[in-house]
């Protein structure tokens, strides 16, 4: 049984050159946001696969944020952000069909200089996650575990 | 059998009757049915700059009341009306607020804007709908093929270039092809796209006359034997007022001017009377021997 | 399972002031696999590093987690510590508990401490899956290719060759020199253009390290930075270069005539020709489309006249293959099609010409030998209009400023006054842009010439008159009304675009272009105007954007310097995070091949199956392929899916 705690948990997958840089700059600028958000650094938002999102939600995260560079030109790897956008759009519609609320997954473009934006998105996403019900998976069902 | 709704516009009804008379005579020959609408109003051109919403309403009312499901479009004889109609379509399409504004007034009369009619210019009618091959067929010789004719489209037929029209605003060619199909020669000339000045008659008449002088004398010096146009306002300046214009600048009338439909009518073999050639005030007699079919 | 050493940094009070380091250490010690946990006031200090190295050595751990600051600040430092301690530097995980924890949760110490513990636990779970990584060194061929033989290509080639490297300079015309050879003089110094260009052209021809391939075109390019394989087509001149002595007798008797492209259509040339007297190499070429022998099978006068028997009608094109380490693209510019600007009458009136055509008319080796006459009318003009910004700064044509037109118009006014002292020159321009060194002074000098007038308004129209003159109309704000000036000759300072050969070159090289003008795209407009998105390919000169000669030369030397830096280092280092394919899982579906923007993935045969394979030198480690693979067959080492899974599981435990 996955333990249920009272506080929301949010995971943010960020791209090294933009979203993660913004997160670090937020730190340097001492902007404050709630501690319930964990940041994982990937080279590029183009590494997006729905697996990461599903895995996070299944393991107990309430909400997933995917951060990348602003289209059209900011992506350090040319157009990884476009790849993320397309795949995220597919995922979003699929998540809706599966019954997940809209706030469970969010794709955001955060430029390296937008530290305050990162902080405000972090605050917002944690706040929204607080109002979301805890996800309950049929974790003792073999079918569900195998699929994920 | 093509069916078009005829919109003459104010000026043709009030003064330039040759515009309507000649096109009615000519289109009978081409088997085009012209439907005369029961209720019309001014297209609103006169208020364009002083009261734009009123002029848009007036044009919108025309689009609503002239709409006829069985007609292929509205044939606008005057360039100003042609501009108002196509511009209104463009604006009402782009701006839902303006569309709602116009419709709310129309509803008071029991009218509505449903479908968008095609707005047809006379040059478009002859070049695109009747076709160059047909025009080539009517010309059975007898005219002097060395006659050089100047074309005058008029400003509002093609401009502003942001609103779609029937030809390239910077370098139109459809009227030239009509002239050539009829068996005459034509050339580009520097003053070809110049304005006749009619639009300034109300606010600055002396400048209007100066522009007409510039156009007529400029064209004449290139050796053209005739100038043709379709618009009643252009015809007013270049034909009806040519004598006054030229005298104002110490010159004399020197350029025969006709309506395109008059030229086509003469080629078909219609009488001078049926194309109202007697109403032309420019020296058309000089050019008749060259263009009439013998 | 690996043995992990965990180092916690206090960072003074930056971390320790919010996070309870001792509690963290206590929690982390409980984790199995953690051999030692050590904290330090400033890990990055000399003491801190020394102690880290010692601890690693003595504890016998094989991987290290450091909880401290950003990877941007000290990752290399810590990686070096691992190296010194005998460990592969990529068996390190740096957890940022400063920027991402202590600094942003200052008021919530309890929660921040808890979060720090979780972050470190996640890193420990992740590092179990880390593998040692290497940066491979790949050799760089000590040679370069320069595409384009104008002033940019010439300067770049000379600089690279002077540094001791072989340069292949490919030029599609029979002679190098480009547009600069067309100019009579250069602004603002009024140097004779060919006089300053000629010596450079000769230097190129004689340089032992430069292999000059004129009348040639690039067909294909393969490979990667450090090792490009290039196929070049050497078009047949039908003249043997080893026998031709450049006496040019063959040209004198040729009966055929063709439009002279070098003179911008203002004169004719023969079918056998050199572009201009100072051409390098001084070897004629035969244009088969106009040559009487090729077209009708007759003549062969050149062959009969040649004293060395150098004419060879049977010559064929030849494809040569060269291998280089770096490529410089310098294919230059051309004038925008002036006839597109209908209202200026170019093409409709013979007395409307472009700026480059004026340069040819006043040039001593131009169609009139330097006499300024109106083309086809052959009359000396008395009143000349110069129309600036023809097609430039205009949404209907080119939205950008051509950068050289204003200075060119002043130079042209000077030419005219110099050749026809009584002439009147009217320049029509919104303003005169004179921003370079000596430019404003030159503007003053020209403005003060008697008979030079500058109308502060763009020309609206050019129209012809029956007497053969043309009138230029404009609104003159000084007078407050429109004016029309009757002139004998109108010179249009037409906008410039990238030369038409740029399109095929950029397709071969897979470079990006700017939509308007077709200029090649640099890596960064401010900080990296020379490199492109493709490693090893550099751009310089007008092909990268409109610019004048000093800027072109500066960029050419910049490109050369980057090339020399690459070639002299002699090797490139691959970055360690290159994607790897598990061929057991790979189905050869090719989705990753398309996903890779750098063309780093190919399909190869392996064990009878088609599977993907990654070229380490091209892979940038972005992970686009990882995201796209439906079989999870491709991954970036130390960033594996199962590692991320492990991190996720640890955080929520």
Full set of structural domains in chain A with CATH: 10-147 (3.40.50)
Residues C264 and C311 occupy one common structural domain: yes
Give the CATH number, domain containing residue B78. Answer: 1.20.1050.140
Taking the C-alpha atoms of residue C493 and residue C398, their distance in angstroms, rounded to an integer, is 13
In this complex, the residue of C118, C577, C652 whose CB is nearest that of residue A59 is C652
Contacts with A, C 258-297, CB within 8 Å: none
Residues C122 and C85 occupy one common structural domain: yes
Chain C's closest residue to A76, CA to CA, is C622
In a domain, C271, yes or no: yes
Residues B139 and B217 occupy one common structural domain: yes
CA distances from C444 to C191, C410, C491 (A): 18, 10, 21
Taking the C-alpha atoms of residue A26 and residue A29, their distance in angstroms, rounded to an integer, is 5
Residues C69 and C47 occupy one common structural domain: yes
Taking the C-alpha atoms of residue C74 and residue C91, their distance in angstroms, rounded to an integer, is 15
Residues of chain B whose beta carbon is less than 8 angstroms from a beta carbon of chain C are 170-171, 188, 190-191, 221-222
Note the pLDDT of residue A139.
Answer: 59
Note the pLDDT of residue C653.
Answer: 81
What does pLDDT average to over chain B? 93
Q: Which of C462, C466, C482, C487 best probes binding to B when mutated, by most B CB atoms within 10 angstroms?
A: C466
Q: 10 Å Cβ neighbour count for C474?
A: 21
C466 lies within 8 A of chain B by CB:
yes
Paired residues of C67 in beta bridges: C8, C95
Taking the C-alpha atoms of residue A12 and residue A49, their distance in angstroms, rounded to an integer, is 14
Residues C358 and C485 occupy one common structural domain: yes
Last residue of a domain, one of C66, C97, C127: C127
C139 burial level (CB within 10 Å; 0-12, 13-18, 19+): exposed
Judge whether residue A145 has pLDDT over 60: no
CB B231 within 8 A of CB B238: no
Chain B's closest residue to C349, CA to CA, is B190
Residues B197 and B282 occupy one common structural domain: yes
Judge whether residue B205 has pLDDT over 70: yes
Residues C384 and C356 occupy one common structural domain: yes
B283 burial level (CB within 10 Å; 0-12, 13-18, 19+): middle
pLDDT in tens, C361-401: 999 999 999 999 999 888 899 999 999 999 999 999 999 99
Sheet architecture: strand order including C34-40: C34-40, C4-9, C63-68, C92-96
Measured between beta carbons, which residues in chain A are less than 8 angstroms from residue C98? 27
Q: Which of A35, A39, A62 best probes binding to C when mutated, by most C CB atoms within 10 angstroms?
A: A35
For the packed helices B52-65 and B96-108, what is the interaxial angle rounded to 10 degrees? 60
Note the pLDDT of residue A6.
Answer: 58
pLDDT (average), residues C102-118: 94
Q: How far is C99 from chain A (nearest CA, A)?
A: 4
Measured between beta carbons, which residues in chain C are less than 8 angstroms from residue A26? 99, 104
In a domain, C500, yes or no: no
In this complex, the residue of C98, C100, C648 whose CB is nearest that of residue A56 is C648
Helix, strand and coil content of chain B, in percent to the nearest 5, comes to: 50, 10, 40
Report percent pLDDT > 70 for chain B: 98
Query: What pLDDT band is residue B292 in, cutting at 50, 70 and 90?
Result: confident
pLDDT in tens, C348-367: 999 999 999 999 999 999 99
Give the CATH number, domain containing residue C592. Answer: 3.30.70.3270
C429 burial level (CB within 10 Å; 0-12, 13-18, 19+): buried
In a domain, C645, yes or no: no
C463 lies within 8 A of chain B by CB:
yes
Q: Which helix (H) or strand (E) covers residue C144, if one does?
A: strand C143-147
Contact C651 A77 (CB under 8 A): no
pLDDT (average), residues C223-241: 95
Domain range for C144: 137-235+317-334+506-570
Note the pLDDT of residue B293.
Answer: 66
Contact C651 A9 (CB under 8 A): yes
Specify the 3-state DSSP secondary structure of C102. helix
CA distances from A25 to A21, A30, B218, C70, C72 (A): 6, 8, 70, 10, 11
Residues C195 and C325 occupy one common structural domain: yes
Taking the C-alpha atoms of residue A18 and residue A22, their distance in angstroms, rounded to an integer, is 6
Q: Which of C122, C595, C648 best probes binding to A when mutated, by most A CB atoms within 10 angstroms?
A: C648
Domain range for B276: 131-291
Give the CATH number, domain containing residue B281. Answer: 3.40.50.11810
CB C490 within 8 A of CB C385: yes
Contact C342 B221 (CB under 8 A): no
pLDDT in tens, B208-242: 999 999 999 999 999 999 999 999 999 999 999 99
CB B113 within 8 A of CB B92: yes
Q: Which two tokens stand for residue C638?
A: 């130390």
Judge whether residue C489 has pLDDT over 80: yes
In a domain, B54, yes or no: yes
- Pick from C379, C328, C332, C321: nearest CA to C356: C332
In this complex, the residue of C342, C463, C466 whose CB is nearest that of residue B221 is C466
Q: Put residue C96 in one of left, alpha, beta given phi > 0 → left and psi -120 to 50 → alpha.
A: beta
Name the CA radius of gyration of chain C, rounded.
33
Contact C348 B188 (CB under 8 A): yes
Q: Which helix (H) or strand (E) covers residue A90, if one does?
A: helix A80-98
In this complex, the residue of B171, B221, B222 whose CB is nearest that of residue C342 is B171
Taking the C-alpha atoms of residue A40 and residue A67, their distance in angstroms, rounded to an integer, is 10
DSSP line for C442-474: HHHHHHTSTTEEEESS-EEEEEE-TTS-EEEEE
pLDDT in tens, B140-150: 667 788 899 99
pLDDT in tens, A83-119: 999 999 999 999 988 889 888 999 999 998 899 999 9
Q: Which two tokens stand for residue B92?
A: 């009402």
pLDDT in tens, A27-53: 999 999 999 999 999 999 999 999 999
Contact C342 B188 (CB under 8 A): no
Last residue of a domain, one of C127, C159, C182: C127
Taking the C-alpha atoms of residue A23 and residue C365, their distance in angstroms, rounded to an integer, is 64
Taking the C-alpha atoms of residue C380 and residue C141, their distance in angstroms, rounded to an integer, is 57
In this complex, the residue of C107, C533, C622 whose CB is nearest that of residue A32 is C107
Helix, strand and coil content of chain C, in percent to the nearest 5, comes to: 30, 25, 45
Tally the domains of chain B. 2
pLDDT (average), residues C220-243: 94
Residues B192 and B231 occupy one common structural domain: yes
pLDDT (average), residues B20-47: 92
pLDDT (average), residues C606-631: 91
Taking the C-alpha atoms of residue A67 and residue A84, their distance in angstroms, rounded to an integer, is 9
Chain A's closest residue to C647, CA to CA, is A40
A-C interface: how many C-beta pairs under 8 angstroms? Answer: 109
Q: How far is C442 from chain A (nearest CA, A)?
A: 39
CB C245 within 8 A of CB C306: no
Taking the C-alpha atoms of residue C91 and residue C112, their distance in angstroms, rounded to an integer, is 26
Q: Kindly provide the ipTM of the predicted complex, given to two decimals.
A: 0.91
In this complex, the residue of C99, C533, C627 whose CB is nearest that of residue A78 is C533
C482 lies within 8 A of chain B by CB:
no
Backbone angles phi and psi of C9, in degrees to 5: -100, 135
Residues C155 and C169 occupy one common structural domain: yes
Note the pLDDT of residue C515.
Answer: 73
Handedness of CA B76, B78, B82, B85 (dihedral sign): negative
Give the CATH number, domain containing residue C391. Answer: 3.50.50.60
Note the pLDDT of residue C589.
Answer: 93
Residues B142 and B25 occupy one common structural domain: no
Taking the C-alpha atoms of residue C346 and residue C331, their distance in angstroms, rounded to an integer, is 26
pLDDT (average), residues C493-503: 95
Residues B253 and B170 occupy one common structural domain: yes
Report percent pLDDT > 90 for chain C: 90
Measured between beta carbons, which residues in chain C are less than 8 angstroms from residue A120? none
In a domain, C642, yes or no: no
C288 lies within 8 A of chain B by CB:
no
Taking the C-alpha atoms of residue C11 and residue C358, their distance in angstroms, rounded to an integer, is 70
pLDDT in tens, B171-194: 999 999 999 999 999 999 999 999
Note the pLDDT of residue C537.
Answer: 95
C518 lies within 8 A of chain B by CB:
no
Residues C565 and C469 occupy one common structural domain: no
Q: Which two tokens stand for residue B275?
A: 């194309």
Note the pLDDT of residue C334.
Answer: 97
Contact A61 C639 (CB under 8 A): no
Q: Which of C94, C98, C102, C104 best probes binding to A when mutated, by most A CB atoms within 10 angstroms?
A: C104
Judge whether residue A3 has pLDDT over 50: no
In a domain, B66, yes or no: yes
Judge whether residue B294 has pLDDT over 60: no
CB B208 within 8 A of CB B198: yes
B188-200 burial, b at 16+ Cβ within 10 Å, e below that, comes to: ebbbbbbbbbbbb
Contact C98 A51 (CB under 8 A): no
pLDDT (average), residues C300-320: 94
Residues B223 and B108 occupy one common structural domain: no
pLDDT (average), residues C428-441: 96
Handedness of CA C223, C224, C227, C228 (dihedral sign): positive
Residues B278 and B145 occupy one common structural domain: yes
Max Cα separation, chain B?
59
Handedness of CA C23, C26, C31, C37 (dihedral sign): positive
Residues C489 and C566 occupy one common structural domain: no
Q: Which of C99, C119, C638 best probes binding to A when mutated, by most A CB atoms within 10 angstroms?
A: C99
Note the pLDDT of residue A4.
Answer: 46
pLDDT in tens, C80-108: 999 999 999 999 999 999 999 999 999 99
Q: Which helix (H) or strand (E) covers residue A64, if one does?
A: strand A63-68
Q: 């839902």: which residue's tokens? A: B96
A50-62 burial, b at 16+ Cβ within 10 Å, e below that, comes to: bebbbbbbbbbbb
In a domain, B274, yes or no: yes
Tally the domains of chain C. 5
In a domain, C648, yes or no: no
Chain A's closest residue to C69, CA to CA, is A24
In a domain, C292, yes or no: yes
- Pick from C347, C110, C141, C121: nearest CA to C228: C141
Residues B139 and B252 occupy one common structural domain: yes
C305 lies within 8 A of chain A by CB:
no
Note the pLDDT of residue A73.
Answer: 72
pLDDT in tens, C253-273: 899 999 999 999 999 999 999
Taking the C-alpha atoms of residue B279 and residue B18, their distance in angstroms, rounded to an integer, is 7
In a domain, B125, yes or no: no
Note the pLDDT of residue B291.
Answer: 87
Note the pLDDT of residue A48.
Answer: 94
In a domain, B99, yes or no: yes
Last residue of a domain, one of B74, B101, B120: B120
Query: What pLDDT band is residue C214 in, cutting at 50, 70 and 90?
Result: very high
Last residue of a domain, one of B100, B120, B140: B120
Chain B's closest residue to C344, CA to CA, is B190
Note the pLDDT of residue C566.
Answer: 97
Contact C103 A30 (CB under 8 A): yes
Residues B228 and B114 occupy one common structural domain: no
Residues B162 and B203 occupy one common structural domain: yes
In a domain, B126, yes or no: no
Query: What pLDDT band is residue C490 in, cutting at 50, 70 and 90?
Result: very high
pLDDT (average), residues C149-177: 98
Judge whether residue A141 has pLDDT over 60: no
Judge whether residue C597 has pLDDT over 80: yes
CA C482 to chain centroid, in Å, comes to 44
Q: How far is A15 from chain C (nearest CA, A)?
A: 9
Taking the C-alpha atoms of residue C454 and residue C432, their distance in angstroms, rounded to an integer, is 9
Last residue of a domain, one of B89, B120, B151: B120
In a domain, C201, yes or no: yes
Backbone angles phi and psi of C469, in degrees to 5: -80, 165
Residues B116 and B135 occupy one common structural domain: no
pLDDT (average), residues C596-611: 90
């Amino acid at each position: 049984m996955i333990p249920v705690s009272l506080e929301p948990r949010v995971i943010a997958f960020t791209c090294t050159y933009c979203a993660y840089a913004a997160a670090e700059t937020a730190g340097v600028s001492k902007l404050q946001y709630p501690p319930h958000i964990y940041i994982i650094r990937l080279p590029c938002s183009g590494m997006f696969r729905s697996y990461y999102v599903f895995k996070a939600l299944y393991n107990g995260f309430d909400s997933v944020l995917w951060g990348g560079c602003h289209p059209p030109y900011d992506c350090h790897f040319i157009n990884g952000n476009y790849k993320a956008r397309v795949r995220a759009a597919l995922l979003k519609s699929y998540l809706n069909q599966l019954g997940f609320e809209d706030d469970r997954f969010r794709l955001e473009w955060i430029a390296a200089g937008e530290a305050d934006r990162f902080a405000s998105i972090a605050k917002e996403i944690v706040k929204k996650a607080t109002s979301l019900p805890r996800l309950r998976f049929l974790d003792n069902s073999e079918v569900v575990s195998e699929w994920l | 059998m093509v069916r078009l709704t005829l919109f003459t516009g104010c000026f043709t009804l009030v003064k330039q009757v040759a515009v309507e008379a000649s096109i009615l005579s000519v289109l009978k020959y081409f088997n085009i049915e012209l439907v005369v609408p029961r209720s019309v109003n001014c297209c609103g051109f006169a208020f364009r700059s002083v009261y734009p919403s009123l002029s848009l309403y007036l044009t919108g009312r025309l689009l609503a009341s002239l709409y006829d499901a069985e007609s292929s479009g509205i044939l606008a004889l005057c360039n100003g009306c042609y501009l108002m109609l196509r511009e209104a379509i463009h604006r009402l399409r782009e701006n839902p607020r303006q569309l709602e504004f116009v419709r709310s007034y129309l509803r008071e009369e029991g009218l509505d804007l449903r479908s968008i009619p095609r707005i047809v210019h006379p040059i478009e009618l002859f070049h695109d709908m009747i076709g160059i091959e047909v025009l080539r067929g009517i010309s059975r010789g007898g005219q002097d093929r060395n006659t050089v004719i100047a074309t005058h489209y008029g400003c509002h037929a093609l401009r502003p270039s942001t609103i779609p029209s029937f030809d390239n605003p910077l370098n139109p060619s459809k009227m030239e092809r009509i002239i050539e199909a009829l068996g005459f020669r034509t050339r580009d000339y520097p003053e070809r796209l110049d304005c006749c000045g009619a639009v300034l008659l109300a606010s600055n008449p002396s400048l209007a006359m100066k522009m007409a002088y510039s156009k007529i004398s400029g064209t004449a010096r290139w050796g053209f034997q005739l100038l043709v146009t379709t618009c009643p306002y252009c015809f007013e300046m270049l034909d009806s007022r040519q004598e006054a214009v030229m005298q104002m600048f110490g010159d004399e009338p020197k350029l025969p001017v006709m309506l395109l439909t008059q030229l086509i009518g003469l080629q078909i073999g219609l009488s001078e009377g049926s194309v109202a050639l007697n109403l032309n005030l420019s020296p058309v007699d000089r050019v008749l021997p060259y263009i009439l079919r013998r | 399972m690996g043995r992990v050493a965990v180092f916690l940094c206090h960072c003074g009070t930056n971390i320790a002031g919010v996070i309870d380091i001792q509690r963290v250490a206590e929690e982390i010690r409980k984790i199995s696999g953690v051999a030692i946990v050590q904290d330090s006031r400033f890990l990055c200090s000399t003491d801190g590093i020394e102690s880290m190295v010692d601890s690693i050595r003595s504890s016998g751990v094989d991987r290290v987690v450091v909880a401290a600051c950003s990877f941007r600040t000290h990752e290399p430092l810590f990686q070096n510590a691992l190296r010194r301690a005998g460990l592969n530097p990529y068996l390190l995980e740096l957890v940022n508990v400063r920027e991402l924890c202590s600094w942003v949760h200052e008021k919530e110490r309890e929660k921040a401490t808890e979060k720090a513990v979780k972050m470190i636990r996640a890193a420990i779970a992740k590092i179990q899956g880390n593998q040692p990584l290497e940066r491979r060194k790949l050799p760089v061929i000590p040679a370069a290719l320069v595409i384009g033989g104008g002033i940019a290509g010439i300067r770049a080639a000379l600089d690279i060759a002077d540094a001791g490297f072989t340069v292949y300079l490919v030029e599609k015309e029979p002679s190098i020199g480009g547009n600069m050879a067309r100019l009579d003089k250069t602004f603002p110094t009024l140097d004779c253009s060919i006089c300053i260009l000629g010596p450079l052209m000769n230097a190129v021809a004689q340089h032992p390290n430069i292999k000059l391939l004129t009348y040639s075109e690039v067909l294909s390019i393969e490979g990667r930075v450090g090792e490009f394989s290039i196929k070049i087509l050497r078009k047949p001149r039908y003249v043997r270069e080893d026998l031709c002595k450049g006496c040019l007798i063959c040209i004198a008797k040729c009966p055929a005539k063709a439009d002279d492209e070098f003179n911008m259509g203002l004169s004719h040339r023969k079918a056998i020709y050199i572009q201009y007297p100072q051409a390098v190499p001084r070897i004629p070429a035969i244009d088969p489309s106009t040559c009487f022998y090729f077209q009708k099978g007759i003549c062969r006068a050149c062959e009969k006249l040649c004293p060395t028997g150098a004419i060879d009608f049977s010559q064929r094109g030849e494809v040569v293959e060269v291998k280089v380490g770096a490529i410089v693209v310098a294919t230059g510019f051309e004038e925008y099609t002036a006839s597109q600007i209908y209202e200026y009458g170019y093409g409709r009136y013979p007395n409307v010409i472009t700026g480059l055509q004026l340069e040819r008319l006043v040039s001593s080796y131009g169609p009139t030998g330097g006499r300024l006459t109106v083309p086809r009318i052959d009359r000396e003009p008395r009143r000349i209009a110069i129309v600036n910004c023809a097609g430039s700064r205009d949404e209907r044509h080119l939205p950008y400023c051509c950068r050289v037109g204003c200075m060119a118009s002043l130079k042209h006014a000077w030419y005219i006054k110099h050749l026809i002292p009584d002439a009147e020159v009217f320049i029509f321009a919104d303003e005169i842009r004179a921003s370079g060194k000596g430019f404003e002074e030159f503007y003053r000098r020209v403005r003060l010439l008697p008979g030079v007038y500058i109308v502060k308004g763009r020309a609206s129209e050019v129209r012809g008159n029956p007497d053969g003159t043309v009138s230029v109309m404009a609104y003159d704000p000084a007078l407050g009304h429109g004016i029309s000036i009757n002139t004998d000759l109108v010179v249009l300072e037409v906008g410039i675009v990238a030369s038409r050969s740029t399109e095929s070159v950029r397709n071969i090289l897979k470079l990006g272009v700017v939509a308007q003008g077709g200029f090649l795209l640099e890596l960064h407009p401010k900080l990296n105007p020379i490199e492109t998105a493709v490693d090893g390919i550099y751009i310089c000169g007008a092909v990268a954007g409109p610019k004048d000669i000093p800027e072109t030369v500066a960029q050419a030397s910049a490109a050369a310097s980057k090339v020399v830096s690459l070639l002299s280092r002699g090797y490139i280092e691959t970055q360690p995070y290159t994607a790897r394919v598990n061929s057991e899982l790979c189905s050869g579906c090719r989705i990753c091949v398309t996903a890779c923007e750098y063309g780093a993935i190919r399909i190869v045969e392996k064990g009878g199956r088609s599977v993907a394979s990654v070229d380490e030198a091209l892979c940038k480690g972005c992970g686009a392929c990882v995201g796209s693979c439906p079989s999870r067959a491709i991954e970036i080492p130390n960033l594996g899916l199962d590692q991320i899974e492990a991190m996720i599981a640890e955080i929520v435990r």
